[in-house]
Chains A and B, each alone.
Chain A
Amino acid sequence: MNKKPWPKSNPDVCIRCAACMAVCPVSRVTPLFPGPKQAGPGAERFRKTEDPSVDPWIDLCIGCHLCDLVCSSGVPISELNLIARAKYLDEKGRPLRDWLLTHSYLFSGIASFFSVITNFLLKNRAFKWIADAFLSIDRRRELPPYQSPTFRQWFRGHHSTGEKKIAYFYGCYINTNEMDVGKATVQVLEANNFEVILPPQECCGLPMLGNGNFKGARKMGLKNVPFLLKTIRSGVEIIFSSTSCGYMIRHDYSRLLNIPGSEEVAEHLFDLFEFLRNLRENGNLNTHFKEFPLKVAYFAPCHLRSLGIGLPALDILRLIPSLQIENIEADCCGLGGTFGFKKEKYDISQEIGKDLKAAINRLNPEIVLTDCEGCRMQIRHLTGLKVLHPIQILRDAWMR
């Protein structure tokens, strides 16, 4: 028979095996979401472009990509969900809250400048009540405090030197809310003889994409890619310290958003620890660590797993003498970017996090490490423990 092979992205290739159902964190905790098999390839057979969406439950997919990872047939389940969700939200209209949550890059500069006032407000109960009542941002969440100076401001006063150059995509959150992660990244790279440069950059657009706003996300991508292309074409590779931003640029820019040049960028864009691991494999990593007697637990974010590069942070941290480090055996923290901030989803988000919390309690670490800012916020919220980016510990192991 003269038949062409089926395209890989078509839900036709789903063999209904339900392997994806076993990993979905959302359908595990709530019957309201039918799970990846149904929500993705299953429902696709019922959706007609010309008909309005009728599946509000699609908004419950947290976008963790765990289903894609296990599917034996290569069904891009979370992508199907995201597209359906975008259509649903386009039709239904997005609340002001979603706009605020996904456009924080617009006002974070000012927020950092007035960080004393902003942080007072963010912790203020009345403010939280207002955010909850009028914006449906759950009052039980801590809103992340802003820092001043920002990472970029700090870097401006910093003189980076090294033999080779490396570019750093730091992302919004590191810039205004966790600048020490950026600082640690720069310090570690410098310790390995790299001069760090910061190419011009905007928010990667993931918060918008995660909220089904393809247009907004594409706009951000179209701004970033030319900057990044210019950097790599001048012979400088790029690293990122936030696995979510990294996944977005490396994967979603080309696959979902069709941004010209993004495939070329993806080839020269590395996760920070993936880059350090490469250095080590070539014998170029500075491994003069000091003894660091500390008990830590490491959690691999969903976006890191989806990058398919293993767990490079663990590989590197295990080189630090007397650092006691354990991998946390749990899937998905449940925050899902902005998902867990939304009032209607807070409980689901917490329920998903329960497993992670229990796993951390079993290990009883002094500090928890994870590469994603969302996971860090959620783990702090769940356990009250100190949570850092692994690069901060690595830096400390050199500098102590």
Chain B
Amino acid sequence: MNLKTEVLIIGGGATGAGIARDLSLRRIPSLLIEKGDFLSGASGRNHGLLHSGGRYVVSDPEAARECIAENRILRKIAPHCIEETEGLFVSLPEDGLDFRDRFIQACEETTLPARLLSRDETLSLEPGLNPDLLSAVKVPDGAIDPFELVLANVKDAEAHGARCLLHTEITSLLVDGDRVKTVLAKDLLHGEEYLIEAAYIINATGAWADQLLKLAGLRTAMALSKGSMLITNQRLTHRVVNRCRPPSDGDIIVPNHTVSILGTTSIPLEDAENFEVTHREVSLLIRETSKMLPAIEETRFIRAYAGIRPLFQSGEKGDDRAISRGFVLIDHEKRDGIRNLITITGGKLVTYRLMAEKTSDLLCRKMGIDVSCTTHLNTLPGAEKPSGLKDRLKPLGKVEALCDCELVRREEVEEVLREGKLKDLQDILHRTRLAKGTCQGGFCVYRLLGMLNELGLTEGNPNKILKGFLEERWKGIRPVLWESAVKEEELIEGIYKGIFNL
């Protein structure tokens, strides 16, 4: 099949979705192609911290400035994706106060609002923190739900004429002279092939940016780094908690709905597809984060997961974290003489909108048109009805819950299904909180399959789908399996093996 579009966006993470929205608001037609579901890459596998910039304020004030500016914008345009929790940078006795003082000064210089709190003030805000802490600095960190954020961007983009094609991989970029002439893509679920003609192509494939460029015979010097995180069964603090020291492993605790997420690590990696969380990382995360919050030592974890960061060499070798976190925008016309190709990668979730704005500005210049960005002025769909934990607890007792850990209602899932276009189980899980709670889908996914079957929505072999889901689930659970979680796994295994014969 042949497809035609003005602009082809490759990659359905925050950056790709942000660009689709930005262009659609500028009335530039686009087609977004993503090889998995939205958020299959780093956008769905990160820490969910709405950075205030504090983390970078000492090492990279420029990045910090971007963060605080975008942080403010996101609070306005996407309040429903954000928990305005505040964040604390906690100094422990072993950290001393030198870094804290530099930190406060750097905040002043970058106009990042920061307030020093005494030990007692800190403990009255978060009584679970290590009572030996020296002080804390309060900054406007928050928690952000990447799923809601990206899907809201997609929704807005589609409402303004953008098109999206999921589960479709770009397989070749055919260069003819100074242009990418044709693009080939393949539907990974049904095997259909597409030939795409696009006037402009934007490579927003994050950690896969280099791999994609190779299809066109191009390169960019980037390294990959794995970051791992652990999810606790219950939310442990109300606020984001950071360690007040030069960025290192295991120094951030981010609350997220019902859970807390501990992270991260930073491990150089070759392959962007196959990676797991190791036991060494689990131990390290628990050891480091429990210094800030001792309860972590005796808390239950429900999952471990990892994401890949693309990093760009800036000389300093050996320490991944010293490589710039700022994003990279490449006009391949200037660099390689290919006129219709742009690469945007790196950056952060918090800066996705800025990255999309800069990319779209560059595209407009190349197209010779003059329309300015409005993504910072218009709120995203859903902003009018921000919902919280309370809203899920409240109707309990009146409605049927499909997932009883995260209290996902059957109607909620039906609504997602009605919106359509979902192709596999993972797509449904991305759009609801199913499988995000204590049992990690152990009990609700077979209920979901039953419901899909009732609605005549299952396609393919349900046993295979279930098996695929269980394998993925097991990967996330295995690293954090001990104590009564083992009992629960035995029970779940019993159900699947004994009752479903898997």
Binding site for B on A (CB under 8 A): 1-7, 10-17, 31-34, 37-38, 42-48, 50-51, 54-55, 57, 60, 72-73
Q: Nearest chain A CB to B294's CB is how many angstroms away? A: 9
B418 at the A/B interface (Cβ < 8 Å)?
no
Among B286, B299, B392, the most chain A Cβ lie within 10 Å of the Cβ of B299
B397: A residues at CB distance < 8 A: 31-34, 55, 57, 60
Do A13 and B390 touch across chains, with their CB atoms under 8 A apart?
no
Complex: how many Å from CA A49 to CA B59?
A: 37
A16: B residues at CB distance < 8 A: 404-405, 438-439, 442-443, 488, 491
Surface stretch bound by A, among B29-37, B130-138, B232-240: B232-240
Contacts A5-B298, A6-B298, A16-B439; is A45 near B394 (CB within 8 Å)?
Answer: no
Contacts A2-B283, A6-B299; is A48 near B389 (CB within 8 Å)?
Answer: yes
Complex: how many Å from CA A3 to CA B389?
A: 30
Do B393 and A54 touch across chains, with their CB atoms under 8 A apart?
yes
Q: Which of B235, B438, B443, B483 contacts A6 (CB 8 A)?
A: B483
Q: Which positions 289-341 of chain B face chain A at CB distance < 8 Å?
A: 297-300
Binding site for A on B (CB under 8 A): 233-235, 238, 258-259, 279, 282-283, 286-287, 297-300, 389-394, 396-398, 401, 404-405, 407, 437-439, 442-443, 482-485, 487-488, 491
Complex: how many Å from CA A306 to CA B485?
A: 26
Do A34 and B396 touch across chains, with their CB atoms under 8 A apart?
yes
B485: A residues at CB distance < 8 A: 15
B398: A residues at CB distance < 8 A: 31-32
Q: Nearest chain B CB to A222's CB is how many angstroms away? A: 26
A33: B residues at CB distance < 8 A: 397
Q: Nearest chain A CB to B231's CB is how many angstroms away? A: 12
Complex: how many Å from CA A51 to CA B389?
A: 10
Do A38 and B487 touch across chains, with their CB atoms under 8 A apart?
no
Complex: how many Å from CA A9 to CA B298?
A: 12
Complex: how many Å from CA A72 to CA B491?
A: 12
B298: A residues at CB distance < 8 A: 3-7, 10
A sample of 28 cross-chain residue pairs with beta-carbon separation below 8 angstroms, ordered by A number, consists of A1-B282, A1-B482, A4-B297, A4-B298, A6-B298, A6-B300, A10-B299, A11-B233, A11-B234, A12-B300, A13-B484, A15-B487, A15-B488, A16-B438, A38-B401, A45-B405, A45-B438, A46-B390, A48-B235, A48-B238, A50-B238, A51-B389, A54-B393, A54-B394, A55-B397, A57-B396, A72-B487, A73-B487
Closest CB pairs A-B (n = 6): A12-B300, A15-B488, A57-B397, A45-B258, A46-B393, A4-B298
Q: Nearest chain B CB to A19's CB is how many angstroms away? A: 10
Do A38 and B300 touch across chains, with their CB atoms under 8 A apart?
no
Do B390 and A51 touch across chains, with their CB atoms under 8 A apart?
yes
Known: A38-B401, A45-B437. 18 other contacts (CB 8 A): A2-B287, A5-B298, A5-B483, A7-B298, A10-B299, A13-B483, A13-B484, A16-B439, A31-B398, A33-B397, A44-B234, A46-B407, A51-B390, A54-B390, A54-B391, A55-B396, A72-B487, A73-B487
Do A15 and B407 touch across chains, with their CB atoms under 8 A apart?
no
A46: B residues at CB distance < 8 A: 258, 389-390, 392-393, 407
Complex: how many Å from CA A216 to CA B378?
A: 54
Residue of A nearest to B234 (CB): A45
State the total of A-B contacts with C-beta under 8 angstroms.
107
Do B297 and A43 touch across chains, with their CB atoms under 8 A apart?
no
Q: Which of A31, A55, A73 contacts B393 (CB 8 A)?
A: A55
Q: Nearest chain A CB to B91's CB is how many angstroms away? A: 24
Contacts A12-B234, A38-B404; is A73 near B287 (CB within 8 Å)?
Answer: no
Residue of B nearest to A42 (CB): B404
Complex: how many Å from CA A55 to CA B396?
A: 8
A37: B residues at CB distance < 8 A: 404
Complex: how many Å from CA A73 to CA B484?
A: 8
Q: Nearest chain B CB to A54's CB is how many angstroms away? A: 4
Q: Nearest chain A CB to B491's CB is how many angstroms away? A: 6
Residue of B nearest to A17 (CB): B491
A15: B residues at CB distance < 8 A: 484-485, 487-488, 491
Complex: how many Å from CA A51 to CA B257?
A: 13
Do B235 and A38 touch across chains, with their CB atoms under 8 A apart?
no
Residue of A nearest to B438 (CB): A16
Residue of A nearest to B483 (CB): A6
Contacts A12-B234, A42-B405; is A55 near B484 (CB within 8 Å)?
Answer: no
B390: A residues at CB distance < 8 A: 46, 51, 54
Residue of A nearest to B392 (CB): A46
Do A45 and B233 touch across chains, with their CB atoms under 8 A apart?
yes
B300: A residues at CB distance < 8 A: 6, 10, 12-13
Complex: how many Å from CA A42 to CA B404?
A: 7
A45: B residues at CB distance < 8 A: 233-235, 258-259, 405, 437-438
Q: Nearest chain A CB to B372's CB is how many angstroms away? A: 41
Q: Nearest chain B CB to A292's CB is how many angstroms away? A: 48
Do A43 and B279 touch across chains, with their CB atoms under 8 A apart?
no
Do A47 and B488 touch across chains, with their CB atoms under 8 A apart?
no
Q: Nearest chain A CB to B477's CB is how many angstroms away? A: 13
Among B282, B299, B397, B487, the most chain A Cβ lie within 10 Å of the Cβ of B397
A17: B residues at CB distance < 8 A: 488, 491
Complex: how many Å from CA A14 to CA B48?
A: 27
Do B283 and A1 touch across chains, with their CB atoms under 8 A apart?
yes
A5: B residues at CB distance < 8 A: 298, 483
Q: Which of B279, B389, B391, B443 contacts A1 (CB 8 A)?
A: B279
Complex: how many Å from CA A4 to CA B295?
A: 10
Complex: how many Å from CA A34 to CA B404?
A: 10
B401: A residues at CB distance < 8 A: 34, 38
Complex: how many Å from CA A310 to CA B127?
A: 42
Complex: how many Å from CA A7 to CA B407?
A: 25
Complex: how many Å from CA A47 to CA B259?
A: 11
Do B396 and A43 touch across chains, with their CB atoms under 8 A apart?
yes
Residue of A nearest to B297 (CB): A4
B283: A residues at CB distance < 8 A: 1-2
B404: A residues at CB distance < 8 A: 16, 37-38, 42
Residue of B nearest to A74 (CB): B484
A11: B residues at CB distance < 8 A: 233-234
Complex: how many Å from CA A50 to CA B390?
A: 12
